[in-house]
Structure 1
């Protein structure tokens, strides 16, 4: 019977050994350009929407979506009762919006799930609503970050475009990641940071086949976003130099930033995982945001994703007492907001926590060895904390330099602090991994995913 079974010919065996077909170079180039344009336009529109809602909610910057007055100035100048009222409204929108989304829309698919081999497609409508809810709530004062929304929209658009143009599965994964990085590049004007996010965090490779589209899409998106946002940097900082104190304390305190970031990542991950998925979500978010509004009567710096607190730290405009208070309160409200069920990123919140912690440390160590610039050390601390809290050391360094346009001499203490921070994080992760019933490498991977993805009640599992 076996002798009657047809045997494959030499030609068919040769065809089977060939690598899978690739899309034509022209198609790949077209998808790359269109992904950059789409991510740039969506990031620009989301940023403009955020600014418009901020101005309307807090009554500042009339007639100017992009103006000279910052969000922190706007909320500080507004009446305390208005802060409370806006945050109560924010709680109602957050709770009702996400509850309805989970109940009636298609299941959400995270970026990390979509770029896995065989990953599901990101639903356009549900992803768009999810992103808009993040933008609206952050604009109204949520302490979470706004960077996830443009990443999700960019990734969803790239997924749809890659499917329509017939790219292979591997090429689709690359373009989805590039769309996410381009969205980040557009909203923050960080083209190199967006590309590094794709290479280091999402895909974990620096190969040319990934580097070229990642850099191209992020650069295109950033330039497109200039149409509405201008070529602006996120933080304006003095021209800090370096001295012996800054270098020494960056080395000594790097592990401290890593340990603090490790604790923050675990705390926020547990809060996300414990968030309600049912009728309790509207109730929890209402109570949470109303509480934040009450705190904002005395501490308007708490409102928003942390950009105001980080900016004050970088400018050396915070005392040690206020910095310590804001640090404790920001960690608290970020955790409670995630626990209540609201969604958003942790990039700017983590950056602000690192900057505030650095201000506190600088205020203390200057009593021992005077000469440490708190503002310069805040930039170093922000990068070291961000590198570990989101498991992205190279991307964090690039983002800090692009955010601040700081003197490149600061790269020396920044690199030293990031090295100590990440080394400490890895040691802590490996030490705690077996105690949680998983290998150390698996525990580290779970920390990375927890920092990057935005799970929901109806999201496909990772």
Structure 2
């Protein structure tokens, strides 16, 4: 057999050579870092062009929220209408002419953990473009998909075993997350807790290495900055007790949000209706953004305002309701994107409302402190990743480690309440259904 044929069809081994594992690990981290950096720069470039701010700089001190707030209301409507056209036509064409998409979770569990490179790349770029144009969904799935697709391709070329290939595909996703948000520890923990479900050293070493390399590479183009600028916050007894009391509330809210978004995704069309619904959905969001520019984007804006204590209770409540509605409607219309940052924003907004009411009974804690704790609790429950959520919130905000106490109390309560909803709500619905059926028969 020729060298060329061996290169084109590597033998899959039961055990991978150490040298091959090391090379694939380093190349996955490097590739995911470059991919995450380029996607982030693409996002910034489209945002600046679409809304007309910081035109001379891809990475600037002016935030997206400042940019869209400075744009005219009419411009917001036009840009969101364009977003609807791009989303609708883009995904409709991808579903019609592209290879079937393979999710990261599917790839990690597959005997052939590869993802179609071209279709996955188009899918990722569409997410970045639409989020840049104002879609309320998250941008974190795109770099994760690019990292996973690259890792799967590298693993295949290196002839890694199926088990090691699965690990590398998961590590590629974590590295993409680490790169785009500058969260090296969060990316690694996401791999171990969410994708692989193990902290064994065979998974831990490549997860940590790929995320660290990716974050370091991405910093070359994006800078070593954290996602949110949080003022100095203090811990007190009021906040701790509130975290214990309200933790379960975040769990119930997270369960409801998850059920809503799952239903919306399941109902999303992939035929000719997708462009029509997408255009209508985003045009309506544009009209709403004429009065509430905070709605645009993945939720980083309102989350930042919440952490900074810059929201009133009434505005936070209004933004929370509208964010949930437009997130679900965008998924229902067929748009794609993540729910990490939207979930973080929902938790922060809900915390402002609950914290503001709590302060009327027991003053002392700042609204920003409530928002930090609530964001972690909602994110942990909605995505079922308590450890990852805690790590991400602390890496996002660089808040004092003193906040671990109320955050852990709230996350624990939220997780318990979420699991209770998973267990008891279907049983309650079934019971009510039987009762209603019985009542109907009696009539």
Task: Tell me if both proteins adopt one fold, taking TM over 0.5 as the criterion.
Answer: yes
**Of 317, 323, 332, which residue of structure 2 is paired with 1:330?**
323
Cα distance, 1:117 vs. partner?
A: 3.8
**Of 388, 391, 398, which residue of structure 1 is paired with 2:381?**
388
Residue in 2 aligned with 1:300?
A: 293
**Where does structure 1 differ by over 6 angstroms across 4 or more consecutive aligned residues?**
none
1:112 & 1:433 partners in 2: Cα distance?
A: 25
**Of 74, 81, 88, which residue of structure 2 is paired with 1:88?**
81
1:427 & 1:167 partners in 2: Cα distance?
A: 41
Cα distance change of structure 1 residues 435 and 361 upon mapping to structure 2, 3 Å threshold: closer
1:430 & 1:253 partners in 2: Cα distance?
A: 20
Residue in 1 aligned with 2:32?
A: 39
Helix, strand or coil: the match of 1:367?
helix
Cα distance change of structure 1 residues 49 and 318 upon mapping to structure 2, 3 Å threshold: same
Contact 2:138 2:340 (C-alpha < 8 Å) held by counterparts:
yes
Helix, strand or coil: the match of 2:192?
helix
Residue in 2 aligned with 1:188?
A: 181
Cα distance, 1:371 vs. partner?
A: 1.4
Residue in 2 aligned with 1:361?
A: 354
Q: Does 1:315 align with 2:322?
A: no
Deviations 1:18-71 (A, max 9, x none): xx7411111101110000000000000000000000000000002100001000
Contact 1:109 1:120 (C-alpha < 8 Å) held by counterparts:
no
Cα distance, 1:269 vs. partner?
A: 0.3
Deviations 1:51-100 (A, max 9, x none): 00000000000210000100000000011100000000000000000000
Deviations 1:307-361 (A, max 9, x none): 0000000000000010000000000000000000000000000000000000011
Deviations 1:208-264 (A, max 9, x none): 000000000000000000110010100010121100000000000000000000000
Helix, strand or coil: the match of 1:115?
helix
**Of 204, 220, 223, which residue of structure 1 is paired with 2:213?**
220
1:47-126 to 2 correspondence within 5 Å?
A: 47-119=40-112, 121-126=114-119
Q: Does 1:428 align with 2:408?
A: no
Contact 1:200 1:206 (C-alpha < 8 Å) held by counterparts:
yes
Cα distance change of structure 1 residues 119 and 271 upon mapping to structure 2, 3 Å threshold: farther
1:314 & 1:134 partners in 2: Cα distance?
A: 26
Cα distance, 1:430 vs. partner?
A: 1.6
Deviations 1:147-200 (A, max 9, x none): 000000000000000000000000000000000000000000000000000000
1:172-321 to 2 correspondence within 5 Å?
A: 172-321=165-314
2:27 & 2:311 partners in 1: Cα distance?
A: 44
Structure 2: state its 5+ residue gaps. Answer: 1-12, 431-443
Structure 1: state its 5+ residue gaps. Answer: 1-19, 438-462
Residue in 2 aligned with 1:376?
A: 369
Residue in 2 aligned with 1:418?
A: 411
1:196 & 1:317 partners in 2: Cα distance?
A: 31
Contact 2:113 2:162 (C-alpha < 8 Å) held by counterparts:
no
Deviations 1:367-422 (A, max 9, x none): 11111211011000000000000000000000000000001101110011000000
Cα distance, 1:362 vs. partner?
A: 1.3
CA RMSD of aligned residues (A): 1.1
Cα distance, 1:434 vs. partner?
A: 5.4
User: Structure 1 length as normaliser, TM-score?
Assistant: 0.89
Contact 1:113 1:119 (C-alpha < 8 Å) held by counterparts:
no
1:364 & 1:414 partners in 2: Cα distance?
A: 19
